[in-house]
A = this chain, B = another copy of it.
Amino acid sequence: MDVDTPALLLDLDRVERNLDRMAALVAATPVKLRPHAKTHKTARIAKMQLERGAIGICCAKLGEAEVLADGGITDVLVTTEIVGERKIARLIALAARATPTIVVDDARAAAAISGAAIAAGMRIDALVDVDVGQHRTGVAPGAPAVALGRAVAALPGLRLRGLQGYEGHVQHITTVPARRDANAAAMSLLCTTAAAFEAAGLETGIVTTGGTGTAIFCAGFGAVTDVQPGSYVVMDAQYGDVQGVGFESALTVLATVISVRESWAVVDAGHKSLSSDAGAPRVLGVNAELRLAGDEHAKLLFDGVPALPLGASVQILPGHCDTTINLYDEYVVHRSGTVIARWPIEGRGRTR
């Protein structure tokens, strides 16, 4: 492949098969698909997801929602709390050209957004974010969530639509039975809270949860309306070790051997080209162990003389797709190794 390195390769055949497969899997259940764009970070793939039946797109940050809106994607759920005057002003500006749904886990924060929406003559869709065991954001399930739901329902600038309860702590549990059990515990908290919402006369038209590791499990719980997987589009080494997920690796980093010694070769991709926050990158098609060796290098450790000459290309499976994609300005898109396009990753670095 005649591509300068390091480069982020996207195997479009595999991406399409992954998109088709998840669409078909979810279509066979009562729930809908609201895939997460925090992984792929481009309106182009979001459109491919919508074309296959997704009912909307998730993103983690307003900055991602803004570039999705620039790309024509307007139905966006921002899955992370929006706090502070600057962020609220950006949300209001976004709501003038898109249809964002937000999540809230605090009544005063919700009231601040409501006030800004009223001032702008708007009403913004909102979900109560419930902590279903991840212990990150979200209000505690049950009574605290219902109390917040009542507060949100009473805010004239917000329109309560339901609940979000993301079980991020479950996604990478390796074996199917253990993951299914942990997911059921999380879904129990979410469904109990949804039932309490209904008993209190609060809206539950959206109950959104799930990731690549659990989406199909979540679809079996009656209160759930949609699932928000992201990584399934491309997968990575970390998800590759999770049993029963079954999507194809579609993302690799192409690197070049720049140095060869008696028992190792060095390639031109290090921490600035391959994330290491979750799961170690692996070299493909070469019988060697990859070890990141600084910002710009990785070592391929061989059992004996390296089987790769200077200048050889290797493909490396990223440890974690989201954070590796976030290091690149573009995908080099190929089918079976033939480069067919370069797609800008317009959400790269949009962490605000």
Residue-wise, chain A 315-333 has the 8 Å CB interface mask toward B (1 for contact) of 0000010110011110000
Instruction: Please state if A38 and B295 are interface contacts (CB–CB under 8 Å).
Output: yes
Query: Looking at A131, A135, A168, A351, which has the most chain B CB atoms within 10 Å of its CB?
Result: A351
At the interface, yes or no: A125 with Cβ under 8 Å from chain B? no
Q: Which of B60, B80, B105, B297 contacts A137 (CB 8 A)?
A: B297
Are B272 and A105 touching (Cβ within 8 A)?
A: no
Query: B352 and A137: CB pair below 8 A?
Result: no
**Distance between A272 CB and nearest chain B CB, rounded to angstroms:** 5
Cβ of B264 and Cβ of A271 under 8 Å apart?
A: no
Using CB atoms, name the residue of chain B closest to A264.
Answer: B135
Contacting A136 at CB < 8 Å: which of B81, B137, B294, B329?
B294
Nearest CB on B from A290, distance (A): 13
Q: How far, in angstroms, from A264 to B264 measured CA to CA in the complex?
A: 45
A296 close to chain B: CB less than 8 A: yes
Q: How far is the CB of A305 from chain B (nearest CB, A)?
A: 15
Task: Please pick, from B168, B295, B299, B326, the residue contacting A60 in the complex, using a CB distance under 8 A.
Answer: B295
List the B side residues contacting A261 at CB < 8 Å: 131, 135, 140
Chain B's nearest CB lies how many Å from the CB of A61? 6
Report the separation of the CA atoms of residues A258 and B108 in the bound assembly, to the nearest whole angstrom: 12
A137 close to B266 (CB less than 8 A): yes
| CB-defined contacts of A293 to chain B, threshold 8 Å | 136
| A window 268-304: CB within 8 A of B | 268-269, 271-273, 275-278, 292-297, 299
Chain A residues within 8 Å of B, Cβ to Cβ: 2, 4-7, 38, 60-61, 80-84, 86-87, 90, 105-106, 108-109, 131, 135-138, 140, 168, 256-261, 264, 266, 268-269, 271-273, 275-278, 292-297, 299, 310-311, 320, 322-323, 326-329, 348-349, 351-352
10 A–B pairs (Cβ distance < 8 Å), ordered by A: A6-B351, A83-B256, A83-B257, A83-B310, A135-B264, A136-B293, A138-B259, A271-B322, A272-B351, A277-B292
Q: Closest 9 CB pairs between A and B?
A: A137-B259, A271-B277, A81-B258, A83-B258, A4-B86, A60-B296, A273-B351, A271-B323, A272-B326
